[in-house]
Structure 1
């Protein structure tokens, strides 16, 4: 039998597809945090976040979560509604644009064989368990798990995989799992295309807004990463990956703009040691070194959210009261930039090809409790080799 690449098979057109009704298809599960769109959802959102996130680093007993979530909801309501004029986060709308854009790029190559679903960690009706039930109902049995999150850590891709695994356990029925193949895309903090795009966006913004009035040596750049607690119960915290991303972007910019600092957007939880310098301290340090303008670029976030908007606006507001003579510019995340959507689709391509080509693997969920999986796996005659592609 002559081997045919996924691209060649796709290009053979609809005629060959109609001859094989059981054609392989791949569901891409694009995962993000999600944010509240109705204020009455704050408490349930916070409780979900406390269970999934805070439990990984803070010694808080679980019985505290419901009342604490309601208390936090009061503060959230005050900040979003009263301090920021009925603020509604654009995160979910932007994430939908990202999902649609990535699907469009993928379908240019793969057609209807690939469909992109979105799942939010904290927001119904897009919780992973709800979305995977729909994936199953639509007849997909190959899944590409794709957290659209810049850095791998227990607080990002870690909780995404945790939720997917819980959902898959709930959706298992009978002695053969409906899912016949899975792949996973790790984060993209070290992808050259993403680093180049961030660099280009910063340079373009400086040329557009600041170059006429400020010398390059007086133009400070704060590259903002998601803050991380230093201790995360032994899990990967994301600090190392975030630092590498910062170093890579800084390396491209510093020959022209010497005043650059990392700035961590922390959630300053009591008794927890967070990454430093925070964004405020980073900005003040650059001003002390002679910066007359500051650019704040969120490199550690792919999708706009209340942190990149409200938190950064708070910080700039306090800095402006301290030093009104300095110019402050807040930049957007990569969001639905066409270049970003295309690169995100490109990262998925080889794994989609892998899933379409790979032989289906039958898994019996009932064997997991007995520790018999390895024997059952070999009994089906599948080699372990095909699991190692692209990792």
Structure 2
């Protein structure tokens, strides 16, 4: 943290770290207000909101994501104060920026808990940060750290967790298990415009999957599939869905599967419901042995990666044309 500043003096590049995440409810009465924040302006049917609310209430109305953010922050070894702000629930990003300003923070690095490039996982967070700064007079400069989908720390964490999942399968099936990498589905129109030249969301996920599969070795077959679709049914999203894919694999004679959620960095609701409840129940009905790899979480190599990102040269700002907001069509 003792790099030269642009003026040539020796001083820390950043005087704080801001962890920026999605947010999640922490009690039953939070669930619907939280979901309404998430989907505001997106035209998601009320029936879908009620369905997703039931997923949260199944787990006591508490999302695991906030606890996991706290655990990640506790595990960090950085020599600057660490702050935490969310897009959709407390602690809201604007409130955190206000606290940073009151504390005298001048220039902070922002670590966003999303590895990949798309509007909702990158550009929207940049907009969230700038909106929060605009609302707080004297707010510090905040520099978003780069994407980390191919960073060795992220890959190492996911590789270790994939090996652990393979070890939970019956011994005779481990060498024949297929790796099925999963990520949050997004509208195809958003996927096609992700990154500066388009298509970066899926390309980055395939890059992560290929790196993890190579570390596992053995020329093991793998697939990239999608989960957690939430948009209006008339809008095409990335496919195949993980459950549809499991049915196809079973019909084709696949003997065992390891699900690897590379599109997430913590075991939040989409992971624990869509994979640990729905996909698991389907695999049991099919008689298909299945194990699910943990997300990066607080794996030591992933935690150390954040310090390494802070020590890198400051990333160039994303061009204004990168990952544009989706066009909202009137219903």
Normalising TM by the smaller chain, what interval?
A: 0.7 to 0.9
Task: State the shift of 1:49 in Å.
Answer: 1.1
**SS of structure 1 residue aligned to 2:210:** helix
Query: 280, 288, 298: which is aligned to 2:243?
Result: 280
Q: Which whole-Å CA distance do the structure 1 matches of 2:219 and 2:63 have between them?
A: 32
- Counting only pairs closer than 5 Å after superposition, residues 96-107 of structure 1 correspond to structure 2 as 96-102=70-76, 105-107=77-79
**SS of structure 2 residue aligned to 1:119:** strand
1:298 has 2:270 as partner = no
- Counting only pairs closer than 5 Å after superposition, residues 97-176 of structure 1 correspond to structure 2 as 97-102=71-76, 105-107=77-79, 114-124=80-90, 126-172=91-137
Superimposed CA distance per residue, residues 64-93 of structure 1 (whole angstroms, 9 cap, x where no aligned partner): x8xx66x65533343333xx3635322110
Superimposed CA distance per residue, residues 266-307 of structure 1 (whole angstroms, 9 cap, x where no aligned partner): 415301211122211332333334322211111111011111
Which structure is higher in helix share? 1
Q: Which whole-Å CA distance do the structure 1 matches of 2:236 and 2:22 have between them?
A: 23
Aligned residues: 308
**SS of structure 2 residue aligned to 1:86:** coil
When the two structures are superposed, what TM-score results if normalisation uses the length of structure 2?
0.82
Q: Which whole-Å CA distance do the structure 1 matches of 2:253 and 2:117 have between them?
A: 35
Higher relative contact order (CA 8 A, sep 6+): 2
Residue 50 of structure 1 corresponds to: 39
Query: 310, 315, 320: which is aligned to 2:279?
Result: 315
**SS of structure 2 residue aligned to 1:197:** helix
Rate the CA distance shift 1:25–1:196 in 2: closer, same or farther, 3 A.
Answer: closer
Q: Which whole-Å CA distance do the structure 2 matches of 1:115 and 1:346 have between them?
A: 16
Q: Which whole-Å CA distance do the structure 1 matches of 2:98 and 2:311 have between them?
A: 24
Q: Which whole-Å CA distance do the structure 1 matches of 2:207 and 2:81 have between them?
A: 32
Residue 371 of structure 1 corresponds to: none
Rate the CA distance shift 1:215–1:346 in 2: closer, same or farther, 3 A.
Answer: closer
**SS of structure 2 residue aligned to 1:221:** strand
Query: 181, 189, 206: which is aligned to 1:223?
Result: 181
Q: Which whole-Å CA distance do the structure 1 matches of 2:132 and 2:24 have between them?
A: 20
Q: Which whole-Å CA distance do the structure 1 matches of 2:246 and 2:252 have between them?
A: 10
**SS of structure 2 residue aligned to 1:200:** helix
State which structure, 1 or 2, has the greater radius of gyration over its C-alpha atoms: 1
Rate the CA distance shift 1:89–1:178 in 2: closer, same or farther, 3 A.
Answer: closer
Query: How well do the aligned residues superpose, as a CA RMSD in angstroms?
Result: 3.1
Task: State the shift of 1:24 in Å.
Answer: 8.2
Task: State the shift of 1:30 in Å.
Answer: 0.7
Rate the CA distance shift 1:330–1:388 in 2: closer, same or farther, 3 A.
Answer: closer
Task: State the shift of 1:119 in Å.
Answer: 1.0
When the two structures are superposed, what TM-score results if normalisation uses the length of structure 1?
0.70
Which consecutive aligned stretches of 4+ in structure 1 deviate over 4 angstroms post-superposition? 22-25
Q: Which whole-Å CA distance do the structure 2 matches of 1:30 and 1:234 have between them?
A: 28
Task: State the shift of 1:127 in Å.
Answer: 1.0
Query: 182, 193, 196: which is aligned to 2:156?
Result: 196
Q: Which runs of 5+ in 1 are unaligned?
A: 9-21, 108-113, 355-386
Rate the CA distance shift 1:234–1:221 in 2: closer, same or farther, 3 A.
Answer: closer
Q: Give the conservation status (yes or no) of the 8 Å contact 1:261–1:286.
A: no
1:94 has 2:68 as partner = yes
Q: Which whole-Å CA distance do the structure 2 matches of 1:85 and 1:201 have between them?
A: 24
Query: 43, 55, 66: which is aligned to 1:79?
Result: 55
Q: Which whole-Å CA distance do the structure 2 matches of 1:46 and 1:204 have between them?
A: 33
Query: 19, 23, 36: which is aligned to 1:30?
Result: 19
1:212 has 2:201 as partner = no
Query: 208, 221, 229: which is aligned to 1:259?
Result: 221
